[in-house]
Amino acid sequence: MNGEFRAQFDADVAFANGGGLTTAGFRLDIPGDRIDDADLAALFVRHLGLLMVSEVRITNKTIIEEPHKGGRAVPGAADRTAGRRLIELSHPVTDGMITLPGWPAPKITEWLTREASRKHYAPGTEFHVARIDMIANTGTYLDTPAHRYADGADLSGFPLDRLADLPGLVVRLPAGTRAVDRLLLAPYDVTGKAVLLHTGWDVHFGTDGYGAPEAPHLTGDGAKALVDAGAALVGIDSINIDDMGPAAGGERPAHSTLLAAGIPIVEHLTGLAALPPDGFRFTAAPPRVAGMGTFPVRAFAVVD
């Protein structure tokens, strides 16, 4: 039981200046487990941003317990819950882990053991220094423009205000969604926000199924919509923000479009189900490594 509820209903809308709108099976976040027709009509009008509405007739209303999808009608969980929380959104990096099937796994070893360090320090004092050998595309990582473009900003030159303490927004995709296109993004105000695509594909991380051709992705048209709307960052809990299936032919329109516009990408996120639809702050800041375009991050959200 998740404690969040949505109303499913049909609506007939009449406008004061003429005309009307009819919807069937519309679903909308509601603040509790019950709502009368008048309040639901008001939330519906606010959610769609409808102007000059003279009447809304609600029929076939049912209440469903399921997670909120976000929108203007009901505040995000962060607005309703007291207390500050930090939510982990990154996979741990472990020795031998597989991020991208067929790509090298990290090797974590000791450069200085505790035993060997004792001869350098006073009695009772010891230290441990580990070593990690890995490719940049390991675990949950961030792409800067230099990942795609030779003259793009790298990790050392990318502005910090595009990586840390960003207002966040979760786009929850219906189960089975493969391609995130412009229409799926259309309901959301993404301007200046870290837009996190919650596909649920992270449940396959570390398995052969993670790299399956049907892995969810952002389409080129969807990426252009995010650029046009002024998104600050885009993240996804799938193996790649682009289509990696054979039909894609190696094209990477989402990477190309977003990074050309200076919008960083975070791939291999996890834990997005724990986030409210909005009202949180998102951070995914890598080290300032000159000459590299990609690096693992500790991605997290702050919910007040």
Is residue 241 predicted with pLDDT exceeding 80?
Answer: yes
Poorest-pLDDT segment among 22-36, 44-58, 65-79, 97-111: 65-79
pLDDT tens for each residue of 160-189? 999 999 999 999 998 889 999 999 999 899
pLDDT at 280 over 70: yes
Weakest-pLDDT range from 8-17, 74-83, 250-259:
74-83
Give the strands of the sheet with 5-15, arranged side by side: 20-30, 5-15, 53-65
pLDDT of residue 229: 96
Q: What is the Cα–Cα distance from 154 to 35, expressed in whole angstroms?
A: 51
Q: Please tell me which residue, 46 or 212, carries the higher pLDDT value.
A: 212
Q: How does pLDDT run across 77-129, given as a tens digit for each residue?
A: 444 445 789 999 999 999 999 999 999 999 999 999 999 999 999 999 999 99
Q: What is the pLDDT of residue 51?
A: 80
Burial of 255 (0-12, 13-18, 19+ CB in 10 A): buried
Domain with CATH 3.50.30.50 in the chain: 141-303
List Cα–Cα distances, 47 to 28, 41, 75, 174, 267, in angstroms. Answer: 8, 10, 11, 19, 30
Q: Which two tokens stand for residue 163?
A: 């990586």
pLDDT in tens, 181-200: 999 999 899 999 999 999 99
Q: Which among 209, 191, 192 has a CA at the least distance from the CA of 200?
A: 209
Q: Does pLDDT of 9 surpass 70? A: yes
> At residue 21, does pLDDT exceed 90?
yes
**What is the residue-averaged pLDDT of the chain?**
93
Q: Please state which CATH number belongs to domain 141-303.
A: 3.50.30.50
